[in-house]
Amino acid sequence: MSHLRDRAPLLLLLLLLLMVSVGPAAAAELTEADFKRMKIRELRRFLGERGLTCVGCQEKSDFSRYAYQNRDKKPLSEQGKRDVPDAPFWAVWRDLAKEVCEGAVRKRGLDVSAAPQSDVCAALAYVTESFFMQHGKRTASKLRKKPEALLKTSFKGVYYDAGRLLLERLANYCLASADHQSTCSSVGKLMTLAEEAKVVDLQGWMTNVGIENTNPMYELLDRRDDL
């Protein structure tokens, strides 16, 4: 038995090397016991590669449990990459807002060129551009970044998916009833809705994009069925 204990560090090292060489598929096959054998710095690295932070974790058991729970998540380097458009941050997301809104209209079997849905999508695109310009510049300035940096991050993996999901939720809200359509057809009322963050928190999403915090993105996507 003693010779097995002596070999344990070597076996763990080989396991970690396998994770690096094979990638996320190998990581997904790790057992809870494998994570418990890792050192805290190895657990931190595992989480960091996935853009995760073990908030409130103090004991090694906290880190190993959280790492095991997130073993299926791909490292940021493995997540799908998208070409970043050569346009301002707010213009890119304006076009995405219009695309998402028109997609929601088509899912309802409606004509995207007919009122009131055409008015809703036009207002949503305009408000998205204005909101992203105002808060994007402010967020970038606070973080001593350029808006281009926000755009680049927003097109990475979970940031993009979460942002698009928020726009889908807002579009679906705006199209849900005649009253909502009337509200969202007004640029002023829709801007107030966005600022108050009662339907979706676009400013919170933007802040997390700026500081590159993936945890809220994963939480949002994990709750997508509730949206």
Question: What pLDDT does 15 receive?
Answer: 53
Question: What pLDDT does 79 receive?
Answer: 63
Give ∠ CA 131-156-73 in degrees, rounded to 5.
125
Question: What pLDDT does 31 receive?
Answer: 87
**pLDDT, averaged in runs of 10, over the chain (227 residues):** 50 50 60 89 83 78 90 73 89 97 94 96 98 96 95 91 94 97 96 95 96 89 59
Q: Where do the structural domains in the chain lie, given as residue ranges?
A: 31-79, 89-226
Q: Say how far apart CA 66 and CA 40 lie, in whole Å.
A: 12
CB atoms under 10 Å from CB of 26, counted, come to 16
What is the C-alpha end-to-end distance of the chain, expressed in Å? 53
SS3 73: coil
Q: Say how far apart CA 56 and CA 71 lie, in whole Å.
A: 19
- Asked if the peptide bond before residue 216 counts as cis, ω within 30 degrees of 0, the response is no
CB 214 within 8 A of CB 222: no
Global pTM value: 0.67
Question: What pLDDT does 27 receive?
Answer: 67
Question: What pLDDT does 25 receive?
Answer: 53
Residue with tokens 């799908």: 80
Provide CB contacts within 8 A for 189, sequence distance 6+: 183
Question: What pLDDT does 154 receive?
Answer: 95
